[in-house]
Every structure is written in structure tokens, then in C-alpha cells.
Structure 1
Amino acid sequence: MTFGFAMIRTSKYLFLIGLIAGAYFVSGLLGQMLKVPPSNAGALWPPSGISLAAMLLLGKRIWPGIFIGNFCISAWAFGFKEESLIVYAVTGLGAVSCALAGTYLIKRFVGFPNPLVEDKSIVLFMLLGGPLSCLLPPTIAMIAMSLDGIISASEIPVNWISWWVGDTMGVLVFTPLTLIIFAQPKHIWRKRLASVGIPLVLANALVIVFFLYMQEIDQQQRQQKFKNQVITLSQALKNRIDGDLHAINSVRIFFMGSDNVENQEFILFTKQALSPFKEIESLTWISHLSAGIGNIEFTSILNKRITDYSNDQQVFSANPNHLLKGDFTSSEFGYLSVEGDKVILVMPVFNKAKNNEKLLRGAIVTRISIDELVRESFNELNTADSFFTVSTSKGAENQKKIIFSNAGDQSTNKASEEYAFSVADHQWRLSFYHNSVLENSRIYWPMWWVLVSGLLFTSLLGVGLLILTGRYFRTESIIEERTAALLQAKNAAETANNAKNQFLANISHELRTPLNGILGFTQLLQKRSSLPEDVKKHVNIIKQCSDNLLTLISDILDISAIESNKIKIDIGNFDFELLLDNLVDVFKLQADEKNLTLIVNNEVSPQYLKGDETRIRQILVNLLSNAIKYTDYGSVSINSSYHNGNLVVSVGDTGCGIAQKDLEQIFSPFVQINASDFVREGVGLGLAITRELVDFMGGEITVTSQPGKGSIFSVSLPLPISTRNQYGAIPDQQVKTERNTAMRVLIADDSEINLLLLANMLEQYGCVVDSAMNGQEALQLISEQDYQMALIDLNMPVMTGLELVKVIRSQHNPLKIAAISAYADEHKITEALKAGFDFYLTKPLDENKLIKILMDVREEKQIIVRGPDLIKNSSITPLSW
């Protein structure tokens, strides 16, 4: 098993090394496309950047892949020469040393893995991995290549610089690209794909395309320059030969026009006519005897001294009969032969006979130096870097013979350009060759500047984009941290708010439970006629104090619901006149207690409006309560009107008034102005709740006040007119009891006080009451008796009210059930109604609402009762107050 795992690890490692070597070699081919002579290294060397990134990501263990890849690409570039294997190995070690040095420096001074978001980290990363580490490969390579004789000492600077620039550019461009794809943390590096990677690739591609285009243009220009030089040199040689032939032909014409030519005359004439042509070494006159036999008559030596001429008979090189067939009126005719580095031109001279037949008189033999001919032809021309051969041939069957060459070994290659022309009876051909060695040794500065400047721009673009994205990520990180902190604070605030709401709900529950007993038994005592007057007064005081405490509890729950955005509005038809009369009846007693005059002016013409009666009552109660509370003498007035679909109610007083600076502050929760000067009841929630309710209903509340003179609060609410006005007023349903029909009612509560209170209330109205202390007892009684109504407390031991009603509804029992609870929050109300309760009554119980439920159940008809203490389940979504 261990051996098998070792084999798998080894196979994976070898595969990784092969992958790195392959990537190095393939990317090296791209670099070879971008090399500029005289260097064999490209001005952009992608393998250096890829190898550095690979070693940073995978560790030092991948160095064999870098070595193998560099060895192969070096052998490819230099032609797989066996004698240079050591050089290839040394350059491979140079590439490995570059990657190792860059990795060490980056990990030592920058750290890796690193998202590179700090400006300093980015600059250090590029400097250490690029220009600094890339000093090693060219230095090592130049030493090895100079020792091996591949380059000379004069070639080292150019090759070193080009090698260093290529490696540096490769790191600056391809290391970021590789890290974007493979580096950690991925959530940062991958985001740079669009902002850094794509712009780098596009910029690099544009530079490469532009470089290749410029390279093609440069190649075409050099090719055209070469062609132009070929034409110029060829034409110059041809023109020189034509001049020689023309001058020699003038001598021939001289002989043709003279019957007898003396030696001195011949020498004088030829020197005068041919002295400008330094390539013509001598001219010899050979007279014709017979059968191709000639005799040298005399020789004119031009520019050079020629010896060893004899007067022995000489044999013509051409058949006289063949020469007779030529057209000798042209200077282009003659017979040509090559002897060593000399061209021998034989030009026959004829005399005309009487019958116009040609008679061979003799021949002029001219010796021309080929080297001098070429030198004189190109005397004033630029022949630098020109490598060519001059060859001659005669007829299709003869092979060409090279008579001049300065091409050296290049003549074995195929000629790049050729130019041919005729000389006498021969065909001369000039063959021109490119000197690859010379071309590769020349520095093409324009190409270098184009490529290096483009790559430098790309590199700086990459660094700049890395810095910009790094700053963006830093900003984003700060924003995320602050957002997280804000979210944590928000969650903490919400938790605290929820805890507060839960606390308020619990406090409300705990306060409502004893209040239920206090108010309930107070109402029972108030109905007793046998109580003395002073006791009734005490009972009324208890009732008033309990009502005030209940109002305070309701206000606290309302402000909590408003802050949690859980307030609900229930739209319905209501009688505004009746609502106002009820309020006046209540607050007239309070005004009388303080000897205040309550003035009412109602100008609302429609009797019925459409809106939330309970919330409107709450708004007016708060305004009237504040007006009476802060008025010690004078009056409180109520003015109401309706116009343009808006109900406008103003409550004025002659109280202490409010300073201008405090007009906005009075609507803040738990705020009382001048609390030290005017000690009043309450906790400062009334006006805050009032404004929130008005805003929620789309209305507006305003206040005008003068300290010491009083205040006027005005409320405008958009309320449509109810359709009930079209049919006249519907008389209110009176709360009556029908004692002749006894109802059997079950009450369940774990509090004996609540059971006693409910039993007394129900028995006063002729109900037969059974009681249970928990849900299990209640369920047992329901299974044994036939009840018309059940009043169930939610919080009970053994079985809660919610569990009880779910069991009852699962048995398809149609019993009417009302939930009784001290919880007045929306969540509890909704939960109870969804569980199966028909009604929801909050403690303290309102006796009138309880009797209305009994009447509804008894008469088996639907009634609509809404209030802060009652919710009736129906087909519509239940609303809470």
C-alpha cells in the first residue's frame, strides 16, 4: 500500500514537472517570435514570469521543470549543437536561479500568499521579482557563452541588456496574469481578472501585433533597399562594360578606316582613347594570314606593363568563317574568353571587297582585369554589406563560370536576387546574397525602442492596475468591516429593541392581570346600590386610577409598536358626532374638577365618516387630556369641521403655553417641557403617539403657542364620507341582556381571582358558569357538557389555551371560544386567532364588550366589534390595536 502511494505521488510529481517544462517551452516559443537581432533572447520572455509564479504557488520542488524547459528552448534557439550542451545547461541553471531568488526575496520582504493590496507590497513584489532577480540569468548565460566562444566580448553588453530586459518584462507582465488565475485568496485575485488581467492581455497583444507589423515593414524596407542596391550595382557594372566595349570598338573602327597602321600610331591612339578605362590592361593587333593563323603585329600596354609578347604565329580562338557571319557594325559583337582573373575580348577587323564581301584583315585582342573592372564600376557606389558573384556562360549547353566573387561561403546558398546581361557572345549574371551573419549582428534600434517602450507601457499598466485594484480592495475591506460593525450594532440594537418589546409585553401582561381584578371588581362594586356615598366615591377613585394606569400601559405598547413599524390601521364606518359626544361626556367631568370651561363647536356635516375610529378617538383623547392637564384656569375648546375630504379638529387651551424652541421637541417620546416648573402626570408619550398616528393615516398635525397664553393643536385627517349617510343613521345596537335565555358558559383560568370575577360578571347576566383551572380540565368539561360559549385564558398549566383550542378545532367542535389574555401585542393576537379562537379579549376586561359577544353568540348573528380590548375572528385578516 505504501509503495502504491509512493508511486502515485511520484507520478503526480513527474506530471507536474512535465507540465511546468511544457509551459516554459511553449511560452518560450512566443518569446522567440519577439526577438530582435543581435540577441537570441526575446524582448519579452514569458517563461520568466510563469516560472516565478509557479515557484511561488507550488514551491521550490518544481525547479526541474524550469530547468528542462529552459534547456529545451535554448537548444531550439541555438540549433541543437552538441558542443553547446553545457551552455544550454548553464542557461537552464540561470533560469532556475532567477525563480529561486525572486521567490526567496518576495517571501522574505513581501510575504506570500499575499493579495497584493498595499502599494508598497506591489512595488516591492515587482522590483524584487523582476529587475533585481532577473540580473542572474543574463550574467550566468553571458559568462558561459563567452567562454564557449558563442559570442565575443564586444557582443556581451547588447546581449546582456536584451536578455535582462526580456526576463524583466516577462515577470512584470506574466507573473500577475498567472497569479490572477491560480493565486490565493481567490476572492481577491479573481476579481482582478476583468480589471487587471484582460487589460494586460489586450495591451500585450496590441504591442505584439504592432511589433510584428513594424517587423514586417522593416523587413520590406530592407528587402526593397537590397533590391535597389542590386539594381544600382548591376547597372553600374553593365554600364562600365558597355563603356569598355564602346571604347574598344572605336579602335576597331580606326583600323577599318586605315589601310596601314604603324606601331607608334596604334599605341598613341589606343592610349588616348582607352586611358580612362583602367581595367583595360592591353590591346594587341593580330594580322590575319590564313586558316585561322594570325601574327602579332604590335601591342599597346595600358595602365600596366605587359611582357613576354612574341611575334610567333598565334592561332585564332575562333573560326574565321564563323566570324564572317557576324554583324560588325555594332560594338557589341566580339568573342570573349576567360583566363584566370582576366577577360580576353577578340574583336575582328574586316575590309570590304568590290563585290561587298567581307575580308578578314585581323583582330584586336583586349585583355581586361576583372577585379579592376568591378572596382572601377563600383568606385563611387556604396557596396558595404554587398555580397555577390559575377558569372559568365555561353549557350545553353555550357555551365556558368564564376569570374568574380566577394560572397565567401554565402555563394553556396541560393541567391536572393539576380541580374543578367549580354557581353559579346557571353551571358553575364550577377548573383546577390543576404549576409545573415551581418544582419543578425546589427542592432535594430527602432525595433528595440518600439518593442521595449510598448512592453514597458504594458508593465507599468499592470503595476498601475494592481495598485488601483489594491486600493479598491482596501477601501472595500474597510467598508465591509464598518458595515459588519454597523450590522453588529444594528443587530445588537434590534436585539435590545426586541428585548425591550418583549419586556414591555411581559410588563403589560403582568400589570394587566392584577388590573383585570381591580377594574372588574370595581365595576361590580359600582353597580351595588347599597354602598354608602363615601364608599362609592372611593370606588370611583379606584376606577379612575386603574383607568389611568391602563392608559399608560396602552401608550407604552403603542409607542413600542410604532418604533417597530408594527402599527395597524383598521378602516371602517363610524359616527363622528357620537364619538365626539362620548369624549365630551368623559372630559367634561375632568374639566369640571379643575373649574375649566369645555367649549365644543362641531361643524362636521356628514354624520358618518370612513376611517379608524379607535385611532381617531386615541388622537383626540391625547390632545384633550394634554389640554386639560396643562391648563389651570380658563377654558379648553374643541372645534371640528369637514371640507375637501379632510376632517379638521382643533383643540385649544388657555394654559401655560409652549416656547417656540420647544415646539418640535414636544413630539419626542418621554419628553416633558419645563418638567421642573410644571410637574404634571404622565411620561410624555401622548403627543409622540399622536403625531405618529396622524402621519400613518396620511394626515398633518400643527401647533401654535404663546407662553403664558395657551396653545392650539390642529389635526387634519383625510377621511372619505361613508356611504351610510345615504341611508340615514342606523341606530346603535344597545347592549342588552336577555335573562330569560340562560347560556351555559365555560371559563378557564389558572387565577382564582379572574375566575371569580368572570363568574360574577356572567352570572349577573343570567349565564350558567362552569370553571376550570387548566386546559386539561376545560377539555374534560367540554367533552361532558354542551356549552354555547367558552372563555379561555392563554397561559394555563398542564395544557395552554392555544393547545386547548387546537384540540377542540381538530375535533370539529363549533363551540364559540374567546381568548382572554393580558398580552395585548399584535403577535399574540394573530397567533391566537390563527389557532382557532373566535374572539380575543385583553385584560382588564371591558364588561360591555363581553356582553356584546354573549349577545352575538346567543342570537347567532355576525356583529362587528372593534376596540383596543377585542378582536373578532372572521374571514378577513384580523387587525390589532
Structure 2
Amino acid sequence: MPRTKIIAQLFFLFFFQIATYSQTERIPNKQLEEMLVDADNYLHKLEYDKSLATSEKVLAQALKTGNNVLIAKACNQIGLSLRENSDFNKSIQFYNKALHYADLTSNDILKNRINNNIGDLYISEKTDLDKGILYYKKALFIAKQIGDSIAIAHTQLDLTKAYFKKKDYTGGIHYLNSVNNFIINKGDFESKISSNFLYGTYYNHFNKIDLALASYEKAIEYGKFTKDERFIKNEIILSYKELSNIYKKKGDYKNALLFLKLRNDLSDRYNEQENLRKAKLIGTQIKNDDYKRQIYKIKFEKELQRRSLRKSKIVVGLFFAIFIIFILLLFTLFRNINFKKKTNDELLKVNADLKIAKEKAEEASLLKTQFVSTISHELRTPLYGIIGIANMLLDENKGRDNSHLNSLKFSARYLLSLVNDIFQINKIDDKHVILDRLTFNISEELDIVSNCLQYIANKNENSIFIDVDPAIPENLIGDKLRLSQILMNLVSNALKFTKNGEVNVSVHLKNVVDKLHYLEFQIRDNGVGIAKSDQDKIYDKFVQVGRKEEDYHGTGLGLSIVKRLIGLFNSEIHLASQINKGTTFRFTIAFEVDSIKTEEIINSIEVDMTTNNTIKVLVVEDNKINQIVTKKIIEKNNYKCDVVNDGLLAIKKLETETYDVILMDINMPIISGFETTRRIRKKGITTPIVALTAFVKEEIAEEAFSSGMNDIVSKPFEPIKLFQIINSQVYKTKA
């Protein structure tokens, strides 16, 4: 029998019993209070029928005597029972009745409890967070008036949960901090569980991993001292889950699996208890059927009494009318059931179609990502050879006319830039970009951008002017690489579309909120400008506007990448432009200023320790051209270099010779670079291994480091970057 039918029967019993109890003798108030205690105990034992019947008996007596306190308490207890039976609408009705009668009394403790119960229902079951918070605040006001410290503490914890559920962590942490000292010194285990769980949630949201771990672990520790199912089911199980997720993010899969297993074991245990609760509901149904038969018997006896007083025609007519109404109700119910069934079938079909469409979209997205990754790798491999050989030829032919070689090198780097742009925008679209936290000086970063783009500026006879607000702190914390990408794209764009003019780059301190300093950047030129009709198009992929007689080189991806990168900083880019007068791009980014964190970041940066000793390098590479280029670059730096074609030869070579560092390709015949590294490590060889690959670092980082590699260099690379990493790894080994 469905739960709704059980609820209907309980209500029928409720009103019938009120009528019956009104005829019984009066019960003393003290006994009624004890009956309410019994009703609450029945509720905790999952004996819902006894709890509801006892509460209803108290309500009938309280209504008869006009005792508003008992009426409010009985209605509140009925509301609790109905909530446990998942009849939330009727539960809120009884809660409101309870509050109405409680307001007629001076019992503030009762008012506080009922307001809390209503808040709980709106927050947990009806998901009306604003209403729930309103009732919690009423409960808190009452608790403060009567000076009930425990009630204040519990209500503030409830308010914290509600605000966190709204994602308003600032609003929630205010209440949590207010009550923390009381809970630490005088709180029970349940409040300590909630407090630590909520702190864990807060720290986890703001990525304060260590604090979050400590808080969740405290919640679990306090959970050992409580038998309250609500806290174990909610806070403790969720604490295990969040601990598992945090360790997974940290790469500690052993602990992640441990806490996931603990969470699942605890969840299974309480699922068994939930099944027991359902079994109790079925038992309630059977008892209600007995009550129903008794009620029908009483009604039948009363009907016989009425028949003796009324004429047979009236009785028959009344019976016939009731029968017709019953048939109409059955017919309406039948139609509703068929309508719901038809609607459910349609919804199931729509959901199935949506699921298929979602799976196809995800498959297409995965194929796109794999395609871009493969094309990127396959283009980077020959580009490494082209750029490397071009550099070799330029070195060998210094002093000669190398215009053709320079053109070749420029074209190769241009193609590499296109590949990088496509890969970059694909990563951003797939939400695979995570902002770094590095310390940097804004003036130095702008100088680097200016120096890198001086060639373009000279070519178009432009001047670059930089203006930095002196109020900006010297050391900022943020992703300076993404900021440089944004500035390089915008400034190079301004230089390309400006001739015999100037490009002004300014940055000013706009606002300071706690440790966050909001910097406003402006890139202004007096070039050709952008037409009003084109201004909405410039951020689209592969779109270039303003090309007429002159060809402004580019892929049409620069501004699209800029907009997406600025979006990662939770900001927006703004444009103001007029034809033949110039263009101004403006955006604001918040960077953190914290001297302690800055020092920690600086101390954690790997310092390149150069050495005068000869370093012996083993290159594992299957591509002949790449072998030549890599060996030439290494030997040019006076290092010794041996080259092998595949992983098996590398393993064999290491059995007889010792090297300072190994440069390992990833895609090789026979066995991959990852498998080669694993076999080398199994032999106990600790020589540093650096992946030298055409893959982008982020694509292979996880597998590379798990296989035993020490670092990754993506081809094509700047030789100085390679030697910095080699020297750093050698220094670590010999330190």
C-alpha cells in the first residue's frame, strides 16, 4: 500500500479519535505532558502509528480544556510525525498551528523549538532556503531573549548550514565563528560534530585543504561518541566523502580509497536502518487496516440506529447518493492514474532521448579533444625538427645572407603559434585550465611583454609606453603566465593595427578588499580602430576584422583566447573604439598580496644550479631528425650525449653505463617512454628522467610522474629552458 494511503488513513483515524476522545473523561495536564514524551519516544523507535495516535489524544484533550501550551506541543509533535512520514505539506500545516497557539502563550522555549522545526523543514525538505533562514533568525532572536546558550548555539549552527547551502559562505561563517568558543568549551558531541563539519566545508570551498582535512577528521572523531543517527547519517558520512575527494585531488589515492570505503560501509549500515524504517511503515499499514475495519464496524452499527429512526426511502436515497459519489471518485481517480501513467511514459521517453543526446555530445567533445591533441602532437614533432635544423644552419652560416633560413624559421614558429593557440582555446573550452599561484612584480612582467614585442613595434614604427601605479605592491600572487598571455595578445594586436603611432599600457590600483588588490589594465592605441558593427565579432574564433588593402597576420584566435583567459580570473573585458582614432581594451583582475605566502612561494621555487662539470646525457628518441637536433643542442653546451632508438636499447645501455640524466621521448615503437621509465625504476636506477615530448605538459603530467619521471619538457623548446631543468635535476641528485 503506498505511503500516501497510509497518511490518509492516519488522518482519518486522527479526526475520528478526536471525536471519540471528546466524549471521554478529562485527563490531568501532567499525564498529558507524559503522553507527549511517550509520543516522542515512539517516534524515535519508528513506531509512527503509536506516536501519532498518542499526540492526537493529547491534542483532543488540550482542545477540550483550551490549554494553548499543550495544543502547541501536540501540534508540534504531530508535525514531527508527519515529516517522518514524508507528508511535508501537512507537516507544515501542523507546525503553523503549533506556532499560532504558542504565540498565545509566554512559553518562549516552545516558540524557539517550533520556529527551529519549521526552519529545518523548509531547509531540508521544501528547499525554500530564504524562508528557512527567516524562521531560524526568529528562533535565534527568541533564544537570545531568554538567554538559552544551548538553543543559541544550535540555531547558529543551523543558520550556518542554511547559508552554506545557499553558497553564501561569508554569511554562514559569521554565525559559525560566533558560536565556536561556546561549542569548544561547553558544547555536546553533536554540536562539535556539526561545527567541525561546517568548518571543513568552509575551508574546502576556499581550497584551504589542510584546514579542511583537520576539521573533517575532528568531526569523525567526535562522531565516535554519539549515537544520534541524524549526525552520523549527515555530517559523518559526508565528512568521509569529502575527505576521500580531498585526498583524491591531492593525488593520495590510498587515503582517498580508504575514506571512500569507510563512507560506503557507514552508508550501507544506515541504509539497512532505512529499510527497517520502511518495514515499520508496512507494519503501520497493517495496523491501520485493523483500525479501518473497526471504524467501519462502528459506522455500520450507527447506521442501523439511524435506520430505525428514518424512513427506508431516505436511507436508500442517502446510500444511493453516497454510492454515486464513490463511483465518481473512483472514475476520477482512474482517469488521474491513467493521465499520470501517460505523462510518466512521455517523460521517460524524453529523458531517454536527452540521455542519448548528452552521451553523443560528450562523445563528440571527447573526440574533438583527442583530435586536437593528436594533431598538436603530430605537428609539433616535425616543427621541432624544422626549427632545430634551421637554428643549426643559422649557427653554421653566421655572417652570410640567411634571409631564406630566417623566413623558414619564422614560418615554422608561426605555424607553432597557430598550433598552440588552437590547443590553448580547446583547453579553456573543456575547462582544463587551472590558474597557478606564483609571486611576481607587475612592472617586470610589463617590461618583459614590451621587450618581446619591440620587433613588431619597430616594424610599424610604433612606440610602447608603460604606466604603473606606484600604489601597487611590489609582490603580487597570481597566475602571471596567463596574465602575460593576455597582455601579449592585446599589445601585439594593438601594434599590428597601428602605424607610426603609440600603444599605451597602463595599470592602476582600483580597489582593495582584504588581501585582494584589484588592478585595472588599459591597452590603448591610436591605430585604425574597429567599426561598431564588428565589435561584437572580434571575440569569436578565427574571426579577423578590418582587413582591407593590408594583411594583418594572425589566426583570429588571439582575442578569443584573451576573453576566455580573463573569464578564468572571474572578470570581463571591455572595448571602446572609433574608426581611425584608436582602440582601448580594459579589464580588472584581482591579485592577492600576502608577504607570508609570497615568501613561501619564493622558497618553493626551484633554483637553477648551474655546474661546470661535464654532464653525461642519454637521449631516447626514435625520430632520426629529432635525434640530430637534440644531440646538436646538447653537445653545443659541452655536454656528452649518447642516443638510442627505443626503450629496450635504453634499458640495455643503462646496464653497462651510467648517465647524469636521461631525456625520454613518449611515443616510441616497441615500448613507450612511460613503460621504459617504469622498467628502469624497477631495476633500482635513480637517474633523473625528463620527458622530452611533443605532447603538452598538462596532457601527460599525471602518467609521467606516476611512471617515475622527474620533469617534462615540451618540443619545440628553448635550449636554455632544457639546460635549466637538466642542471636542476642533476643538482638534486648530487645534493
Contact 1:573–1:722, Cα closer than 8 Å, also in 2: no
* One-letter amino acid matched to 2:660: Q
Query: Which SS does the other structure have where 1:860 is aligned?
Result: helix
Q: CA 1:460/1:796 → structure 2, altered by over 3 Å: closer, same or farther?
A: same
Letter in 2 for 1:449: G
Question: How many Å apart are 1:703 and its aligned residue?
Answer: 1.5
What's the counterpart of residue 316 of structure 2?
448
Return the alpha-carbon distance in structure 1 between the equivalents of residues 598 and 427 of structure 2: 37
In structure 1, what is the Cα distance between the partners aligned to 2:298 and 2:444? 91
* Shift in Å, 1:817: 0.3
> What is the CA distance between 1:832 and its match in structure 2?
1.4
TM-score norm. by structure 2 comes to: 0.55
1:539 aligns with 2:627: no
**Aligned-partner residue type, residue 478 of structure 1:** E
Residue number in structure 1 paired with 2:628: 756
Instruction: Give the CA deviation at 1:783.
Output: 1.6
Alpha-carbon separation, structure 1, partners of 2:542 and 2:681 = 44
Is the contact made by 1:791 and 1:817 (CA closer than 8 Å) also made in structure 2?
Answer: yes
Secondary structure, counterpart of 1:708 in structure 2: coil
Given that residues 207 and 455 in structure 1 are in contact (C-alpha distance below 8 angstroms), is that contact kept between their aligned partners in structure 2? no
> Are the counterparts in 2 of residues 207 and 454 from structure 1 also a CA contact under 8 Å?
no
Q: How far off its partner does 1:480 sit?
A: 2.5
- Evaluate the alpha carbon distance shift between residue 729 and residue 801 of structure 1 in structure 2; reply closer, same or farther with a 3 A threshold: closer
Give the conservation status (yes or no) of the 8 Å contact 1:602–1:639: yes
Structure 2 CA distance for aligned equivalents of residues 733 and 570 of structure 1: 15
Question: SS at the partner of 2:655?
Answer: helix
Deviation at 1:677, TM superposition (A): 7.6
Structural mapping, 1:856-867, within 5 Å:
856-860=728-732
- Distance in structure 2 (CA, Å) of the matches to 1:842 and 1:729: 24
Structure 1 residues 539 and 484: alpha-carbon distance in aligned structure 2, compared to 1, 3 A threshold? same
Equivalence map 1:684-763=2 (5 Å)? 684-721=556-593, 723=595, 738=611, 740-763=612-635
Corresponding position: 1:769 with 2:637: no
| Partner SS, residue 652 of structure 1 | strand
Which among 291, 302, 309 is matched to residue 221 of structure 1?
309
2:426 corresponds to which residue? 560
C-alpha separation in 2, matches of 1:568 and 1:728: 20
1:639 Cα deviation (Å)?
1.2
Are residues 1:621 and 2:488 paired?
A: yes
- The residue aligned with 1:596 is 462
CA contact (8 A) 1:746 1:789 kept: yes
CA distance in 2, matches of 1:476, 1:655: 62
Q: Where does residue 139 of structure 2 map in the other structure?
A: none
- Contact 2:607/2:728 (8 A) holds in 1: no
Q: Counterparts of 1:861 and 1:673 in 2: how far apart (Å)?
A: 53
Match of 2:348 among 472, 480, 495: 480
Give distance in 2, aligned partners of 1:770 and 1:826: 28
RMSD value over aligned CA atoms?
Answer: 3.5
Matched, 1:467 2:329: no
Instruction: For 1:263-282, list aligned pairs within 5 A.
Output: none
Q: CA deviation at 1:675?
A: 5.5
Shift of 1:590: 0.5
Q: Return the offset for 1:727.
A: 8.4
CA contact (8 A) 2:456 2:496 kept: no
CA distance in 2, matches of 1:522, 1:784: 35
For the 8 Å contact 1:745–1:767, the answer to whether it is kept is yes
Distance 1:775 1:727, change over 3 A: closer
Name whichever of 207-216 and 470-479 sits farther off. Answer: 207-216
**What's the CA shift for 1:854?**
1.9
Aligned partner of 1:742: which letter?
Answer: T
Instruction: Give the C-alpha shift of residue 501 in structure 1.
Output: 1.0
CA distance in 2, matches of 1:641, 1:445: 95
Q: 2:497 aligns with which of 630, 641, 645?
A: 630
Matches within 5 A, 1:771-790: 771-790=643-662
Name the aligned partner's letter for residue 542 of structure 2: F
Q: How does 1:493-504 map to 2 (within 5 A)?
A: 493-504=361-372
8 Å Cα contact 2:439-2:598 kept in structure 1: no
In the TM superposition, residue 853 of structure 1 has moved relative to its aligned partner by 1.1
Q: 1:648 to 1:630 in 2, by over 3 A?
A: same
Aligned-residue offset at 1:728: 14
Distance 1:455 1:716, change over 3 A: same
Shift of 1:619: 0.8
Q: Secondary structure at the match of 1:703?
A: strand
- Structure 1 gaps of 5+ residues are 1-193, 223-442, 864-881
What is the rounded CA distance, in whole Å, between the counterparts of 1:684 and 1:579 in structure 2? 25
Deviations 1:233-253 (A, max 9, x none): xxxxxxxxxxxxxxxxxxxxx
| Number of the residue aligned with 2:414 | 548
Distance 1:505 1:727, change over 3 A: closer
Q: Could you tell me how far 1:595 is from its partner in structure 2?
A: 1.7
Q: 1:465 to 1:660 in 2, by over 3 A?
A: farther
Selected match of 2:326 from 458, 464, 481: 458
Specify the code of the residue in structure 2 equivalent to 1:629.
K
**Alpha-carbon distance change, 213 to 579 in structure 1, aligned in 2, over 3 angstroms:** same
Query: What's the CA shift string for 1:111-146, capped at 9, x where partnerless?
Result: xxxxxxxxxxxxxxxxxxxxxxxxxxxxxxxxxxxx
1:775 touches 1:799 (CA, 8 Å); kept in 2?
yes
Following superposition of structure 1 onto structure 2, how do residues 650-669 of structure 1 map, counting pairs within 5 Å? 650-669=522-541
- The structural deviation recorded for 1:569 is 1.4
Q: Structure 1's 210 and 540: CA in aligned 2 closer, same or farther, altered over 3 A? A: farther
Q: Distance in 2 between matches of 1:577 and 1:862?
A: 37
- After superposition, the C-alpha distances for 1:278-333 in whole angstroms (9 at most, x for unaligned) are xxxxxxxxxxxxxxxxxxxxxxxxxxxxxxxxxxxxxxxxxxxxxxxxxxxxxxxx
Distance in structure 2 (CA, Å) of the matches to 1:503 and 1:854: 32
- 1-side partners of 2:380 and 2:497: how far apart? 28
- Cα distance in 2 for residues equivalent to 1:207 and 1:728: 77
Report 1:303-342 matches (<5 A).
none
Compute the displacement of 1:835 (Å): 1.6
Q: Is the 8 A contact 1:666 1:673 kept in 2?
A: yes
8 Å contact kept, 1:211–1:451: no
What is the number of equivalent residue pairs in this alignment? Answer: 444
**Match of 1:639, as an amino acid?**
S
Match among 501, 509, 512 for residue 380 of structure 2: 512
Checking the alignment, whether the CA contact within 8 Å between 1:633 and 1:654 is kept in structure 2 is no
For residues 821-876 of structure 1, give each alpha carbon's deviation from its aligned partner in whole angstroms, at most 9, with x where no partner exists.
1121634222212221111111112211101012213332899xxxxxxxxxxxxx
CA distance in 2, matches of 1:715, 1:758: 42
Could you list the runs of 5+ residues in structure 2 that have no partner in the other structure?
Answer: 1-281
- Alpha-carbon deviation of 1:696? 1.2
Flag the 1:677–1:472 CA change in 2: closer, same or farther, 3 A. Answer: farther
Task: Select the residue among 418, 442, 449 that pairs with 1:583.
Answer: 449
Higher alpha-carbon Rg: 1
In 1: Cα distance, 2:465 partner to 2:538 partner: 25
Q: Residue 625 of structure 1 aligns to which amino acid in structure 2? A: S
Structure 1 residue aligned with 2:391: 523
Structure 1 stretch 727-736 or stretch 512-521: which is displaced more? 727-736
Q: Secondary structure at the match of 1:657?
A: coil
> Greater relative contact order: 1 or 2 (C-alpha under 8 angstroms, separation 6 or more)?
1
Q: Deviations over 1:720-744 (max 9, x none)?
A: 2353899899999997964x41111
AA aligned to 2:333 is L
Separation of aligned partners in 2, 1:672 and 1:445: 92
Indicate if the aligned counterparts of 2:688 and 2:733 stay in contact, CA closer than 8 A: no
* Aligned counterparts of 2:488 and 2:297: Cα–Cα separation in 1: 84
Q: 1:11-90, aligned counterparts within 5 Å?
A: none
What is the Cα deviation at residue 784 of structure 1?
Answer: 1.4
The percentage of aligned residue pairs carrying the same residue is 27
